Amino acid sequence: MQQKIANYLKDNYQHLMSIAICRVENAQDADDVLQEATLTLIRQVASGRLTREEDIPRYFTTCIGSRAIDLDRKEAKYGIEDGDLESGLVMAQQFDPTPNPEEILVREQEVEALEGYIKSIPGDTARAINRHHYDYEYSQSETARVLNVSKQYVSTVLKR
């Protein structure tokens, strides 16, 4: 049966590779996925789960999909395995903790929108509650304590 798997892989390599490429980001990962799928199929034969030759295509397709999902999960959990980027810098050198200009612009727009919203609220206390909660990022309890009002009142004002 292992020889039949090898023959099927040889005869349908391009088709299987195209399936793998559709499920991952690049050809190198697709090749890894295809190799792992082949090993999985061989294990299926050894365990007695794959016994019929006509099931090989279905098993291959299923294994390719499963190994692609495994690869995605692995990268999501551990990040990119190779730390070298196209620029030649490693990931640690590429990371810059300061916000980029787009992030700064978005943040400025959010602040302006929040300021406009708070100014439009009628009542000094209601404005102060919203300012402390949204602008200063106080919790409802902290806002109530600082402004000397009840927590229920703060909650009611924030729900409006």
CATH number, position 111: 1.10.10
Total-model pTM: 0.47
CA proximity to 32, closest of 16, 56, 55, 43: 16
3-state secondary structure of 84: strand
Same domain for 57 and 12? yes
Angle at the Cα of 57 from the Cα atoms of 51 and 63, rounded to 5 degrees: 90
Task: Answer yes or no: is pLDDT of 130 > 50.
Answer: yes
Q: Which two tokens stand for residue 81?
A: 């395995």
Task: In whole angstroms, give the CA distance from residue 19 to residue 80.
Answer: 22
Instruction: With both helix axes pointing from N to C terminus, report the angle between 27-47 and 13-23 in degrees, rounded to the nearest 10.
Output: 110
Task: In whole angstroms, give the CA distance from residue 55 to residue 7.
Answer: 14
* Range with lowest mean pLDDT among 73-77, 106-110, 128-132, 148-152: 73-77
Same domain for 71 and 6? yes
Number of domains in the chain: 2
Same domain for 65 and 26? yes
Residue 36 lies in a domain: yes
Give the range of the structural domain holding residue 121, as residue numbers without chain letter. 101-159
Amino acid 138 reads Y
Same domain for 139 and 108? yes
The distance in angstroms from the start CA to the end CA of the chain is 69
Per-chain mean pLDDT for the chain:
82
* Range with lowest mean pLDDT among 46-50, 94-98, 120-124: 94-98
As a whole number, mean pLDDT of residues 51-56 equals 86
Task: In whole angstroms, give the CA distance from residue 131 to residue 125.
Answer: 10
